[in-house]
Amino acid sequence: MWDCPAGELSREDFIDIYASFFEKGDACDFANIIFKVFDINGDGTIDFEEFLSALSITSKGTMDEKLEWAFQVYDVDNTGTINREKMKQIVRAMITMAGDKNPQEDDGNGMLSKEDFISAAKRGEGIIQALSFL
């Protein structure tokens, strides 16, 4: 088990813990993205309150709370929108984490606002189910 005597988890420790669950792939990029969302106050560590907040939302939150949290994951630069490049970054990180060394790329463009993301996700059961694994 992991030990956090100071009550905080560093980025490096978080990545190590995350990586231990995905032995076939490289979880570093995805863990970095998730760390940013867990680190609510942006101080470079996850304290117990931040950890419980994220855990509570992802496991017991309402659909809207889960979707708001998921939007933060995809909005990697905090602009309030998701574009194709951000989506590619997340998908690449997830595929690499699963062990695929050559994720496929496709072309296109477009933007997705938080409202559009939540509306589309509510119509698609797969996104909601995927939130259970974050």
Q: Which pLDDT score is estimated for 52? A: 92
The secondary structure of the chain as a DSSP string is: ----TTSEEEHHHHHHHHHHT-TTS--HHHHHHHHHHH-TT-SSEEEHHHHHHHHHHHHH--HHHHHHHHHHHH-TT-SSEEEHHHHHHHHHHHHHHHT-SS--------EEEHHHHHHHHHH-HHHHHHHTT-
Q: Which pLDDT score is estimated for 1? A: 46
Would you give per-residue pLDDT tens digits along the chain (134 residues)?
A: 456 767 899 999 999 988 888 888 888 998 999 999 999 999 999 999 999 999 999 889 998 998 899 899 889 888 999 888 888 888 778 778 777 665 555 454 456 677 766 776 666 554 555 555 44
What is the domain partition of the chain in residue ranges? 8-131
CATH code: domain 8-131 is: 1.10.238.10
Report how far residue 17's alpha carbon sits from residue 38's, in angstroms, rounded to the nearest whole number: 14
